[in-house]
Structure 1
Amino acid sequence: MNLTPAESPPSAASSSRLDSERPERKSAVSTKPVSQDGPQHGIGAVSITPLATKLAQYLSPSDLKKVKEAYRFSDEKHLGQMRKSGEAYISHPIAVAEICADWKLDAQAIMAALLHDVMEDQDVKKEELIERFGAPVAALVDGLSKLEKIEFQSQIEAQAENFRKMLLAMARDVRVILIKLADRLHNMSTLGVMAPDKKRRIARETMEVYVPIAHRLGLNSIYRELQDFSFLHLHPNRYKTLTKAVKAARGNRREVVSKILESVNHTLQAAGIEAQVYGREKTLYGIYKKMRAKHLSFSQVLDVYGFRVVVDSFANCYVALGTLHALYKPMPGKFKDYIAIPKLNGYQSLHTTLIGPYGTPVEFQIRTQDMHRVAESGVAAHWLYKSSEANLSDLQQRTHVWLQSLLEIQKQTGDSAEFLEHVKVDLFPDSVYVFTPKSTIIALPRGATALDFAYTIHTDIGDQSIATKINHEHAPLRTELHNGDIVEIVTSPSSRPSPTWLAFVRTGKARSAIRHHLRTINPSESLELGKLLLTQALAALDIDIEVPPAQLERLLNESRAKSLEELYLDIGIGKRMATLVARHIMSLCENENAPSQKSGSHSVTNKLEPVVIYGTEGAAVQLAPCCQPIPGDRIIGQLKRDQGLIVHTDDCEVAKRLSSKEADRWTSVVWGDTLNRRFDCRIKLLVQNEKGILARVAAEINESDANIIHVLMDQEKYQDRAMIHLRFTIQVENRVHLARLIRSIRRLHGVERLERERG
């Protein structure tokens, strides 16, 4: 494993050897590999001397003395504690500190790496760390430590809360995540002794959260290693098979690689370009991912090897590109300029794919030495190369903006699982680059819409969006953006976020801002709805709504709600499940032997009062657009997170699919007696394509006292006659009104078929 991004590429003279064939850097604390088949990374030993030698190269004697004091404290606290592998536990903090030392992190970070488990495992208080090592070190250790033993409703909730704490600590000090990534890398390298199910769980967690974070921060060495370790433990058999195939391919393709290296070196020297050229092998996971995505066998993956060209200046990147294009023919559409438009994590290089000898496609990456350093170490380059800090200001600024957005999302999100969901979305590595009208480049996740763009500019712009112009043409807010689009947002002070926006926004910032707005409007409606839903759930369990004060106080404490009204509000907006809260209350009552349980047999429950729908409710109750229920339809309600109650017809296919997954989120609903509004529904007609047919249908709809909202037409051949489909969105009072309208239209000449359209 090579965790030293500072290491210069090999000279041209020695560059005929592939990166993957170089001997692995042996950890100074390494004693033995964990797996013969896995990525080679050693398990630490107890001695600190090699680490101290490494730190002495860049830390002052006073800082080194502080680090040794932190080591002695950690060694004392972990005395007698063993790892699953049977080694002394202190070997793990030392290994983590050594990885951090490769990045040349400061003394505070190295001390935190050595102490990172003492709060969690040895019950050392933060106050003690502050007293002995100072507040900055204690803050880092606290950010790395899991939460104290709080009663969570599930393992998922506990895990989400731990991630939330860590990511927020990272937003305040990026060293937290650098130490955590070093910790995760060493843990992944020693995962072989764990049970198979635990290995898969940790590997999946690493792939879903830590790998994207490493990529987002530009830590490519860690990113690639964590990917391969996760691949090893998620799919061990596939990993072993692919490892054997790659080893066999090295011998078969050695001649091709040597020929390309020789030709490229000779051509660049002839052009007067000073460059270092060396081969690199795709990671096993990279090969596997390509095989899966394109349904290829290993023999069909031709670009297992690529080449990196490191030149001495910015201008020579493009000169080298032209020289290589003259040597080998480029593949159309396979050129990317990440120098002009860097990736979100600051990565810069020119990428081109050429047709090499024997028709083999070969990828080249061309970059300067500074670009190479940033490409390998990302934000860690801030510590590694302080002399070139000015060149990295753009990367640091990008990272700072993203980290601050975490704090903004946290302010708008009260739920840990929801916060983690938003962050995962923003960690998605693929990006599109669009322009503001003033030509500022904005990077967004692939699949982002114009509304995501608006929220990226500013939350207020997103909240007040009404339309957009993409490349100077009007388009809906839901329009997906593509590279190079020029996006302009049209706003109105009277516009407010709609619940339907959640269906198409892509970024965590947009989603959290919309949900924050929805949960703050009309809270009285959501509160009443939550109270009714909880009453229903308690009645189903034969529990009185009047919970004794002692149990109520404990319920609020364990639910982390400030008041009963807040609990009702959370239920009303779908943040909490009424059935789970009711069961929690029942368990409290049973534990306290409280008399709040109703008398009588449990087999006879009270008749549940369904939620009454009048159609005039605000954001707390919405009619589902998929089936568009109208009075007279049999209906059911889905409690959706931060959108309140969504009403479907009971035969809606979407509702059937959703209810099979989350049955607890569904409740009985009925129409009210007094409905003083009209409801949207869709009808579909097959009519003869003749003069005046649209006018006749529209006139009949008007005569039936219905209102036309939208019309859509499409032509098709039907039974050898020219027919046309007409689709109307109309407003009616109820099913009786709709039935009367349908009978009237069916009597018209030229109408072949008519039905209510759903879905």
Structure 2
Amino acid sequence: MAPANNGEGAVSLEASEFARLKAQASRYLKPEELDRLEAAYHLSADAHSGQFRISGEPYVTHPLAVTQMLATWHLDVQALIAGLLHDVMEDTGVTKDHIAGEFGKTAADLVDGVSKLDKLEFQSYKEAQAENYRKMFLAMARDVRVILIKLADRLHNMRTLDAVRPDKARRIARETLEIYAPIANRLGLNTIYRELQELSFRHIHPMRYRVLSKALRQARGDRREMVARLMGSIQERLEQWHVEAEVHGREKHLYGIYRKMVDKHLSFSQVLDIFGFRIIVKNVPECYLSLGALHELYKPVPGKIKDYISIPKANGYQSLHTTVIGPGGTPVEMQVRTVDMHTVAESGVASHWLYKDDSQPLSDLQRKTHNWLQSLLELQTASGDSAEFLEHVKIDLFPGDVFVFSPKGKIFNLPRGATPVDFAYAVHTDVGNRCVACRINNELMPLRTELSNGDQVEIITAVHASPNPAWLSYVRTGKARAEIRHFLKSVQHEEATALGERLLIQALRSHSFVLADIGDPAWERLLREVGLKHRNELLTDIGLGKRLAAVVAKQLVDAQGAQQASHGDEPRPQRTASPILIHGGEGMAVQMARCCRPIPGDPIVGMIRKGQGLEVHVNDCPVLTRNHSSERDRWVDVEWELGTERMFDASIRVIAEQRRGALARVAAAITDQEAGIQNVSMESERGAHIIINFTLQVQNRLHLARIMRAIRRIPDVVRINRTRGDNKIADKNERRS
């Protein structure tokens, strides 16, 4: 709302703020540039005339405050003009063409880049937030000054957030903490990064902020004497080592203390290292000399020494960190850095504008920062491809995350260790559920491959594919894990219901009944007895092995018999049940036992495993007979369905003479027979022999026999046999004559 005295007093306030800005900018801008800056101020003041902030201040005080921050970084006149005009395109009738005509295309592009998103409709706040990310990164890609203006804009808004209603303030603060503070950190704008964190914390958790602030003020008073004593001791020891240094005591930031309490489950009294010291020296050798002096004075904490000078952080930050045990056993953090390092640590990518003097070359670190910025601008100019440019920016901005790209250039942010399956579900649930293979950077790769920054990922799908339970062992995102589990649960339920029906049909045949013979009264009677509401629930229990089909069939027959008896019908003669036909593609409700690896052509038997469904074994499987001889009521007659065409796993062991190329010749013989090699391993044997174990993909027993005959013809091969799990079962004629 507008204040009552919006006349000369308000104009005086605006004029005084601009006078401060002009004085600041005059330290490094030329007179003609100051004239352009004043023209921009008048345009901003005229455009925002009559507009007021929620606090009641004239609106133009906001762009003035933003531009004052930019002037402290010594940004050029184009950036300062954009700072003054950054809201005129959104909130007034001033157009981009007008700005370009008055101040040039560069200033107009900067203002356009800082402007908010167009009034697009998004399906969710998350979608809008994601688009905000894209807009900001693209704007930064065009000109890094856009991000610097945006951060200054956000910082001033956060400083004046008390005027905003609490629910909106919390939303803005949360967005700041999740988006803008990390960007400031990545750009090395440490001062802004810390202040954004503190202000966000104050509005998201106001009560916690007040309590911790009070506790920190109390601790500051209690430890004032200790801090003064520590600073004196450090200064004295550095002088003894002939090191000229500035020593500054510093207090840990409130949000950092809060995060430490939350992450390590500590109370405030348990967080001892709330104070630290910063030692600023002339050059790099004196950094390491100072570290030695500090470690002679106080014992260092093992594992707490970090050398960011030799290995700088991704944002260019350089410093030596060490934690020592101070008086009274209190841990104290020390940071040692040069003046140039301190400049970059506080101002990050903005530092290449700071104190810029053409007569003096940039320091090595400033040159690296400058080159990084130039590389962004050159990439945009050279490629003209925003997707390629955005890839570089996002990878560099968030090195802790993995950013990968779709074939169309869309960016996806995934956690470290994420796989193509995570990517597939990030694209769409249906893409994840139908995923069968992937290409990473145009090469076919396993689905469990960990993705790296900048990878281009293409997901290959199939209409009838479905999630593999093994994916749960390596996916990293909550979305992928939840979707896989949901699909498997629903699909297993459907498959178990279908299997339960097949098992019940088989069991009913021994009583000369078919499923259609069982009337609704018999079903209703049985469901009441077992406490279920629906017929499918009973069939699912049978398929999952929770109920035996033979028992349920007997109960249904008895119920139907009672119904028939009441009508005077004759009972039906019993007959032998037909076996269940197995084709190997039934899904999770029917599984091939890994202990014996049955393939079509092997005599088989089924075993109902409680909660898992039907497991198919070879009929002489030692594991089955040893472990389940007392559970024959769970055995089911099964047979292979004729014409089964899918591939099955089969294992063979080959003993060959240890000659060069033996493995290659055996592998070639296998592939010549149109079989796939799933796995191969080698072990040595006494003498001049090697043992090669293969897991193959075969169609049936005859196919496996052809493969083994082909291998047997190789002169290097001494012996070959089929293996089933841990049990080696020799087929006929497996040994060479």
Q: CA deviation at 1:701?
A: 5.8
Where does residue 496 of structure 1 map in the other structure? 444
CA displacement, residues 603-648 of structure 1 (integer Å, 9 cap, x when unaligned): xxxxxxxxxxxxxxx456632112899xxxxxxxxx989x999964
Q: CA deviation at 1:680?
A: 7.7
Q: Please give the secondary structure, in 2, of the residue aligned with 1:748.
A: helix
1:358 and 2:332 matched: no
Report if aligned partners of 1:308, 1:365 keep a CA contact under 8 Å in 2.
yes
C-alpha separation in 1, matches of 2:45 and 2:179: 30
Higher relative contact order (CA 8 A, sep 6+): 1
Q: TM-score, normalised by structure 2?
A: 0.59
Where does residue 394 of structure 1 map in the other structure? 368
C-alpha separation in 2, matches of 1:98 and 1:160: 30
Q: Please give the secondary structure, in 2, of the residue aligned with 1:650.
A: helix
Where does residue 303 of structure 2 map in the other structure? 333
Q: Please give the secondary structure, in 2, of the residue aligned with 1:218.
A: coil
CA displacement, residues 563-597 of structure 1 (integer Å, 9 cap, x when unaligned): xxxxxxxxxxxxxxxxxxxxxxxxxxxxxxxxxxx
C-alpha separation in 2, matches of 1:152 and 1:431: 25
Report if aligned partners of 1:279, 1:305 keep a CA contact under 8 Å in 2.
yes
CA displacement, residues 241-272 of structure 1 (integer Å, 9 cap, x when unaligned): 11100100011111111111111100110111
Where does residue 624 of structure 2 map in the other structure? 748
1:117 and 2:87 matched: yes
Considering only aligned residues, what root-mean-square deviation do their CA atoms show, in Å? Answer: 4.5
Q: CA deviation at 1:496?
A: 2.3
1:626 and 2:469 matched: yes
Shift of the 326–73 alpha-carbon distance from structure 1 to 2, 3 Å rule, reads: same
CA displacement, residues 125-145 of structure 1 (integer Å, 9 cap, x when unaligned): 211111111100000000000
1:698 and 2:596 matched: yes
Code of the aligned partner of 1:312: K
Q: Please give the secondary structure, in 2, of the residue aligned with 1:496.
A: strand
One of 472, 490, 512 as aligned partner of 1:650: 490
Q: TM-score, normalised by structure 1?
A: 0.57
Report if aligned partners of 2:110, 2:145 keep a CA contact under 8 Å in 1.
yes
Where does residue 250 of structure 1 map in the other structure? 220
Report if aligned partners of 1:623, 1:646 keep a CA contact under 8 Å in 2.
no
Code of the aligned partner of 1:395: T
1:57 and 2:31 matched: no
C-alpha separation in 1, matches of 2:251 and 2:471: 55
Q: How many residues align?
A: 492
Q: CA deviation at 1:681?
A: 5.8
Code of the aligned partner of 2:218: A
C-alpha separation in 2, matches of 1:451 and 1:343: 26
Report if aligned partners of 2:591, 2:615 keep a CA contact under 8 Å in 1.
no
CA displacement, residues 683-704 of structure 1 (integer Å, 9 cap, x when unaligned): 9999xxxxxxx9xx42656764
C-alpha separation in 2, matches of 1:394 and 1:207: 28
Shift of the 228–652 alpha-carbon distance from structure 1 to 2, 3 Å rule, reads: farther
Where does residue 83 of structure 1 map in the other structure? 53
Report if aligned partners of 1:143, 1:169 keep a CA contact under 8 Å in 2.
yes
Where does residue 292 of structure 1 map in the other structure? 262
Q: CA deviation at 1:148?
A: 2.9
The 5-angstrom pairing of residues 94-493 of structure 1 reads 94-386=64-356, 387-391=360-364, 392-398=366-372, 427-428=397-398, 448-449=416-417
Q: CA deviation at 1:110?
A: 0.3
C-alpha separation in 2, matches of 1:413 and 1:277: 45
C-alpha separation in 1, matches of 2:442 and 2:414: 30
Report if aligned partners of 2:596, 2:617 keep a CA contact under 8 Å in 1.
no
Code of the aligned partner of 2:627: V
Shift of the 130–268 alpha-carbon distance from structure 1 to 2, 3 Å rule, reads: same
Report if aligned partners of 1:351, 1:364 keep a CA contact under 8 Å in 2.
yes
C-alpha separation in 1, matches of 2:156 and 2:30: 27
Report if aligned partners of 2:250, 2:278 keep a CA contact under 8 Å in 1.
yes
Where does residue 541 of structure 1 map in the other structure? none
C-alpha separation in 1, matches of 2:589 and 2:335: 55
Report if aligned partners of 2:283, 2:338 keep a CA contact under 8 Å in 1.
yes
Structure (1 or 2) with the larger CA radius of gyration:
2
User: Unaligned 5+ residue runs, structure 2?
Assistant: 1-8, 403-412, 424-437, 473-478, 496-581, 636-737
Shift of the 499–77 alpha-carbon distance from structure 1 to 2, 3 Å rule, reads: farther
Q: Please give the secondary structure, in 1, of the residue aligned with 2:337.
A: strand
Q: CA deviation at 1:747?
A: 8.0
Q: CA deviation at 1:180?
A: 0.6
Shift of the 628–310 alpha-carbon distance from structure 1 to 2, 3 Å rule, reads: closer
C-alpha separation in 1, matches of 2:77 and 2:440: 52
CA displacement, residues 631-679 of structure 1 (integer Å, 9 cap, x when unaligned): xxxxxxxx989x99996451669x9xxxxxxxxxxxxxxxxxxx99858
Shift of the 681–233 alpha-carbon distance from structure 1 to 2, 3 Å rule, reads: same
Shift of the 394–494 alpha-carbon distance from structure 1 to 2, 3 Å rule, reads: closer
Report if aligned partners of 2:598, 2:618 keep a CA contact under 8 Å in 1.
no
Bigger shift: residues 249-258 or 389-398 = 389-398
CA displacement, residues 533-574 of structure 1 (integer Å, 9 cap, x when unaligned): xxxxxxxxxxxxxxxxxxxxxxxxxxxxxxxxxxxxxxxxxx
Q: CA deviation at 1:398?
A: 4.6
User: Unaligned 5+ residue runs, structure 1?
Assistant: 1-30, 33-42, 433-444, 456-477, 479-490, 522-617, 630-638, 656-674, 687-693, 707-726, 728-734
Code of the aligned partner of 1:496: L
Q: Please give the secondary structure, in 2, of the residue aligned with 1:622.
A: coil
C-alpha separation in 1, matches of 2:29 and 2:117: 32
Code of the aligned partner of 1:148: D
Shift of the 744–226 alpha-carbon distance from structure 1 to 2, 3 Å rule, reads: farther
Q: CA deviation at 1:500?
A: 5.3
Shift of the 54–295 alpha-carbon distance from structure 1 to 2, 3 Å rule, reads: same
Code of the aligned partner of 1:749: T
Where does residue 69 of structure 1 map in the other structure? 39
Percentage of pairs with the same residue: 47
C-alpha separation in 2, matches of 1:409 and 1:133: 25
Q: Please give the secondary structure, in 2, of the residue aligned with 1:749.
A: helix
Code of the aligned partner of 1:623: S
Report if aligned partners of 1:621, 1:644 keep a CA contact under 8 Å in 2.
no
Q: CA deviation at 1:741?
A: 3.7
Q: CA deviation at 1:369?
A: 0.7
